[in-house]
Structure 1
């Protein structure tokens, strides 16, 4: 049986972003550290994979240093893509100069196909608002996709480098979604949202809900940020998420620290309402994956309550989300790990990118405004491709 090998050096001098290749199995960069995994030793596809993860980690020669990496889809009945890699390399967090030095122009002649069409998306928002008005649920997140078809093969390595260069404070990831001998298909993104991290007994989650597009004009950009902080609709949407997250974590944690109100965080394209919640793990045997599964999906990507929101998503969205609004990350034999919400992402095959973006629908939402929010969220991937001008056509 093959055994996972670990890079014996753990050093901030290692730029694992530069070491990433298009056939690398997994890459994950967080504000704390970087992980690069190569090769696939053992695949875990159980729809309830907790026991299989524990068994896979325990079977390694040094279970405490072993790692499982991968992604979980949005819908609970769908198979995850988790695996034990053949080799794992770790380093400290990327420095901005490491990120910026690797950015290069990447632009293709692409044909863009939205699904659903903008008018159909707006109709879906109207239908959801009617359902919310009837009392069936409080919130639902509706998403749409853009399929970009290029004339030439997409440079997956350069796309990841570009994503990392514009995502200093978030979670940049790349996951090969096929075994070594299968046609290459990847999930890549630059998520701003931490679903859950566990380091020893410390547990951290940082939900984002309530958004506004950035403006290139500094005065207008500040006005939008201030308006978001005072928006009754967005504050209500955010509170739904925070209340649900706190309720889910309470059985696992003591001393939960929950700020009285949200703060603002920004990416290159968006402002978000943010609340960082931390606590101390009661039972030290509970690992990061179990904790993340207890949270997933939060109302930030699904809605509230979750079951009627998920049902409405199935009715209205004319596509399969796959791993979009799932979770992506890693866990180790100590129980530590980091899991980001799989947003600002795309699934990539040789000459095709499928981008995803969603918006939270609550009482007071306006269909055209939610459409504009999804278009703004597409800009993360489009900018990395050198196609930011296509956002307005989305």
Structure 2
């Protein structure tokens, strides 16, 4: 046998502490933790305009080959990009260790900054982002575009090496109800010539889809407001989000699309009539948990993820029009941001989270991403503020605001 699994008593925190950038895949959900090491096989990229559509078939082929080669843990792990012109980064690892949910000692010492000083470059600049939102609103007034998600990035550079293992710990500790991940990226995606390995790292609050046997779960989030340190104001913001016409409209567009994507694969679908509220340390979100039962056990979690990707929560609606608007307005390539990250085994079970609240990192830099959904009624200044709030997930995990310094 060429693979191995952990003992049931393995602590999730031990897997977290064992993560090593450049040789590991880490994925923690609210109920389980996974650490994969090494590469037994790599899922090849087919190229072409239908590369994403063909991805589940390619993964199934590689997993079957791994099983035939007596590899006892045929599981594909990794990340799928926003745009299918970029190859998915999926591998069958040599070993996988699994454990239950991460549980931390509340008495542990406070985190330290990952570096003492950073320089930061926003792309685009805030004023240009405001102009982009105004441009998107004009497109909606003159055509059938109903929603477009516009993103920003922050390039942070440090003179000293960034401890990605500590960053991953900080993210997991601060976001226990989310999906914490770290994925090795191929060197050719490095931002500068000659740069070394890159790591996709983050803590997403949003489950794209999971499959366990015939049971399917999706949990789209759309409609967001920043949290407040004042408890009374924080609850007022949450209550306002629950009844906000703009945010309820944005959420409804997403739910409509997700249900449309899942319905052909499911015998039953349970869709709550109204969204609920969920929170992270920095944000309130409108959330809908959609559950269903598959028609056919041959439908894998990755097939479902591909059918849903990209949802209007990260792209817009209608998808093709929103994708075109993003390509015109955003001044950078998203790469794996707003893609999906997770795993799928040879039986089809798996979990896929939406790749948000994340960064692409190398030894001395991180490129952070954040976006906001633009619909009729959006105000550019409010959307800019939403992206600032979404950056805080990564910034706080980096220790910024706790002794570190950011220089323009």
Show the 5 A alignment for 1:1-394: 4-11=2-9, 13-15=11-13, 16-46=15-45, 47=51, 48-61=54-67, 65-97=73-105, 101=108, 104-108=111-115, 109-178=117-186, 183-388=196-401
- What secondary structure, in the 3-state scheme, does the structure 2 residue paired with 1:204 have? strand
- What secondary structure, in the 3-state scheme, does the structure 2 residue paired with 1:299 have? coil
| 1:14-45 Cα deviation digits (max 9, x unpaired) | 53112212333200000121110111222224
| 1:302-351 Cα deviation digits (max 9, x unpaired) | 00000000000000000000000000000001110000000000000110
Moved more, 17-26 or 315-324: 17-26
- What secondary structure, in the 3-state scheme, does the structure 2 residue paired with 1:234 have? helix
* Shift of residue 7, structure 1, vs aligned partner: 1.7
* Shift of residue 156, structure 1, vs aligned partner: 0.7
The runs of 5 or more residues in structure 1 that have no matched partner are: none
Q: 1:287 to 1:93 in 2, by over 3 A?
A: same
Q: Distance in 1 between matches of 2:272 and 2:289?
A: 7
Q: 1:310 to 1:14 in 2, by over 3 A?
A: closer
Q: 1:64 to 1:253 in 2, by over 3 A?
A: farther
Q: Distance in 2 between matches of 1:104 and 1:387?
A: 11
* Shift of residue 373, structure 1, vs aligned partner: 0.3
CA contact (8 A) 2:114 2:163 kept: no
Report the aligned-residue RMSD.
2.0
| 1:123-145 Cα deviation digits (max 9, x unpaired) | 00000000011123000000000
The runs of 5 or more residues in structure 2 that have no matched partner are: 46-50, 188-194
TM-score of the two chains, using structure 1 as the length reference: 0.94
Q: Distance in 2 between matches of 1:193 and 1:391?
A: 30
Q: Distance in 2 between matches of 1:199 and 1:64?
A: 19
- What secondary structure, in the 3-state scheme, does the structure 1 residue paired with 2:321 have? helix
CA contact (8 A) 1:4 1:88 kept: no
Moved more, 202-211 or 170-179: 170-179
Moved more, 231-240 or 18-27: 18-27
CA contact (8 A) 2:17 2:165 kept: no
Q: Distance in 1 between matches of 2:109 and 2:288?
A: 32
| 1:202-249 Cα deviation digits (max 9, x unpaired) | 000000000000110101100100000010000000000001100110
